[in-house]
Amino acid sequence: MLELLLLAVCAGILISGLLAVCLNNLVAAMVSSGLAGLLASVTFLLLAAPDVAMAEAAIGSGLTTFIFIYALRHAGNGEREP
């Protein structure tokens, strides 16, 4: 059962990573990237590494996503140049 759950979470990481690359809106891409980090922290939690999971959730997905979105808001409109 745990293997199926890990497989589903890892598939979610891959899908959100692909979305982060393919989306034209940079804010949506950064949110998708943050989702990949959050799903990675869930993976670490399922693999019995709660300290790594907390660090990934706090820094990897939370703080990094906030900093990127803050920088995008102050730098431009959040759309990629074609």
Give the span between the Cα atoms of 40 and 1, in whole angstroms. Answer: 18
Q: What is the pLDDT of residue 22?
A: 94
Checking if the pLDDT of 81 tops 90, the result is no
16-74 pLDDT, tens per residue? 999 999 999 888 888 899 899 999 999 999 999 999 999 988 988 889 888 988 888 88
Q: What is the pLDDT of residue 38?
A: 92
Q: What is the pLDDT of residue 82?
A: 60
Domain map of the chain by residue range? 2-75
Please tell me whether the overall predicted TM-score, pTM, comes out greater than 0.85 for this model. no
